[in-house]
A and B are shown apart, each in its own frame.
Chain A
Amino acid sequence: MNVGSLAPLAVALPFLGAAIAFVLIRHPRAQRRVSLGTLTITLALEVWVLAVVWHSGPVAVHLGGWAPPFGIVMVADQFSSLLLVVSSAVSLAVLAYASGQGAADGEESGPVSVFHPTYLILVAGVSNAFLAGDLFNLYVGFEILLTASYVLMTLGGTGSRIRAGITYVVVSVVSSLLFLIAIAMIYGATGTVTLADLAIKLGALDPGTQHLLHVLLLVAFGIKAAVFPLSFWLPDSYPTAPAPVTAVFAGLLTKVGVYAIIRTETLLFPTDHFNDVLLWVALLTMIVGILGAVAQTDIKRMLSFTLVSHIGYMIFGVALSSVLGLAATIFYVIHHITIQTSLFMVTGLIERRGGTSAIMRLGGLAKLSPILAVLYFIPAMNLAGIPPFSGFLGKLGLLQAGVANGSPLAYVLVVGGVAASLLTLLVMARVWNRVFWRSTADAEDPDPVLLASAPVAAGGRSMSALRTSKHVHATEGRFSGENEVPILPKMMVYSTMGLVALGLAMSVFAGPLFDLSEHAAEGMIARTPYIEAVLGSGAGAP
């Protein structure tokens, strides 16, 4: 038996963990252990699956034993198993971070205990979307992760989160409805929703029908991936959520949309009708996104805009529809998942250390907390694409693919990509200069936490030695009283360090990773390995 057929456990295990965590809702410590354990096991399993799939090619699992085009099928090819591993690693780091935060703040009960089950369901939804072998299962995966994300987004139910949450829910529901409409039309036109079967049957349709279905899918996925004209919901809603939630959303949710776009462009509609449109969309996403980031005065909002901007790079690589472009996109996606998440995690730490994430109100953190400075500096330079890092290698691959394409529009995109990269460097450096480099005295209206802890830090032994007392209002019954709260809990710092290290490892092992991406891209452009894995050998031949 092939180990690849264990891939559906990547969906089943987090669900099981979520159920157990939900039963343990009154025992936060056990809950934390269960969810961390579940994700560790899932990650180990996915690494194993990746190791097998790397050599053997795509593996399809027919759930329930129904023959291919009729039953539900789950497919693990190199691309999806690579994404599974990276997404699980990132979500494990964020879960450790959130657990550290919860343990440090003494949240032993209350509404937040729903966090762990919901988080595991989110992970299950993401895995399901990556593994789905048919459109409707992809839709279900999207719905699982979106429903979990609605709950996480509005956790605690404060005014600003409710306001942002409502917009987020409405936009997501509309995009899901568009996706469902596309599924209905595709089923009406072809009589199947299995991706491999569609790959064969869609090509036989009337070109007009094909364009309609193609555009519907692209718009539905474009909203989820936050590409330019459909991206305005993202910087509005993400920054209001709690720090760990924003971190995991930024890393994973938009990438699921990008994943769906890549599948659409390579497997379902390999024709290049809309490549020019996609190139324009990519250019505008990069430029408009980064210009939005330049205007921001809050680190979280600024990062949300850079997130939108960097989605543009991925769309650029997809629209080139060459092996090199696709390989660079795959590499860029896994690089960006790691880096963007670690930046948001560091921002969460900055917010704890400085009491705010408004850039003007912070200062002198490089001296107050050198560890934070290092943790911010590495991923920031990585995101901006400074040479030794993976961000540079990914962008270089994309630019090479653009030059190899040779069309005037591709050259415009190359210039746009370089400009967006420089502007990213600008905003990252501005945060560095103000938050870390200038002295604390220059901060405008600094938060008491930043000032109060300054002398302690000078003589302090380690980051966890730094403590502040936390008054909690008596209105919330069980939280009343005063307790010591470490400003930078060890667990939060270590998990951030782990993820930054993972980002560095991607730079060090960029060679093998890029080989894998190229291997995956070749298979995806050829399409036959995927189709034959699902429908049996001989099916993919045109």
Chain B
Amino acid sequence: MTLLLVMGVLYAIGIYLLLERSLTRVLLGLMLLANATNILLLTTGGYAGLAPIFNKGIPATEYNDPLPQAFILTSIVISFAVTAFMLSLIYRSWLLSHADVIQDDREDRRVANQDLFDVEEDSEIAIEISDFHENDQPLESREMIPEVTLKKSTTAHNAHPQPNPPSPKDRS
């Protein structure tokens, strides 16, 4: 019963922290959730009993179920590795941007804000109405100049030396 209460509280706090925007709190939330799940696994082992080391004189019902404990051990090891990796990610993120919050996806924002009008697909085909060309407007005047500048900055941001192809500015 106490275990169940502890588990419930851990889940509640864990989910609350997970929904924060600060990365350290998200990590703390994940750790709490992992521990709550470990307690859940422990409770599935049934009632407490003797340590599961075989002894001829003791009937099988007296022992504790060892399997959930093995599950928990595995799960602890895995969450340890993931926590260490997350910490290194958070540290790296802090080094790069001096912010401990989840960043927005810039490309996503750009796609969301793009013009509904697409020059190549949606522009009307120019029809020659008269033989006089004084009113002709080149269609290119409607191009989206701000988008192009934004795109440049995104590409520069994504560029990276190692497994990527060499970034544009690296070539001459």
A12 at the A/B interface (Cβ < 8 Å)?
no
Across the interface, do A150 and B85 meet the contact criterion of CB distance under 8 Å?
A: yes
Given A147-B81, A184-B41: A358 touches B155 (CB 8 Å cut-off) = yes
Across the interface, do B44 and A185 meet the contact criterion of CB distance under 8 Å?
A: yes
- Smallest beta-carbon distance A455→chain B, Å: 15
Prevailing SS type, chain A contact patch: helix
Across the interface, do A107 and B162 meet the contact criterion of CB distance under 8 Å?
A: yes
Given A157-B92, A355-B171: A170 touches B163 (CB 8 Å cut-off) = no
CA distance A177 to B161 in the complex (A): 35
Could you say which of B92, B105, B158 contacts A162, with CB atoms under 8 Å apart?
Answer: B92
Minimum CB distance partner of B77 in chain A? A143
Mask of B81-101 contacts with A, CB within 8 angstroms, 1/0: 110011001101100110000
Across the interface, do A243 and B44 meet the contact criterion of CB distance under 8 Å?
A: no
Across the interface, do A110 and B44 meet the contact criterion of CB distance under 8 Å?
A: no
Binds B, one of A77-85, A367-375, A445-453: A445-453
B49 at the A/B interface (Cβ < 8 Å)?
no
- Chain A residues 455 to 495 lying within 8 A of chain B, measured CB to CB, are 468-473, 476, 479, 485
B128 at the A/B interface (Cβ < 8 Å)?
no
Across the interface, do B166 and A485 meet the contact criterion of CB distance under 8 Å?
A: yes
Across the interface, do A147 and B171 meet the contact criterion of CB distance under 8 Å?
A: no
Across the interface, do A173 and B30 meet the contact criterion of CB distance under 8 Å?
A: yes
Mask of B151-164 contacts with A, CB within 8 angstroms, 1/0: 11001011011111
When distances are taken between beta carbons in the complex, the residues of chain B under 8 Å from A173 are 30, 34, 79, 82
- Chain A residues 135 to 175 lying within 8 A of chain B, measured CB to CB, are 136, 140, 143, 147, 150-151, 154-167, 169-170, 173-174
CA distance A167 to B104 in the complex (A): 10
A298 at the A/B interface (Cβ < 8 Å)?
yes
Across the interface, do B93 and A181 meet the contact criterion of CB distance under 8 Å?
A: no
Given A301-B107, A356-B155: A169 touches B68 (CB 8 Å cut-off) = no
Minimum CB distance partner of A482 in chain B? B172
Minimum CB distance partner of A449 in chain B? B171
Mask of A69-109 contacts with B, CB within 8 angstroms, 1/0: 00000000000000000000000000000100110010100
When distances are taken between beta carbons in the complex, the residues of chain A under 8 Å from B5 are none
Across the interface, do B96 and A162 meet the contact criterion of CB distance under 8 Å?
A: yes
Output the residue of B23, B105, B162 with the most chain A CB within 10 A: B162
CA distance A361 to B71 in the complex (A): 52
Interface residues of A (CB under 8 A from B): 98, 101-102, 105, 107, 110-112, 115, 136, 140, 143, 147, 150-151, 154-167, 169-170, 173-174, 176-177, 180-181, 183-185, 187-188, 236, 239-240, 242-245, 295-298, 301, 348, 351-352, 355-356, 358, 360-361, 430, 434, 444-445, 447-449, 452, 468-473, 476, 479, 485
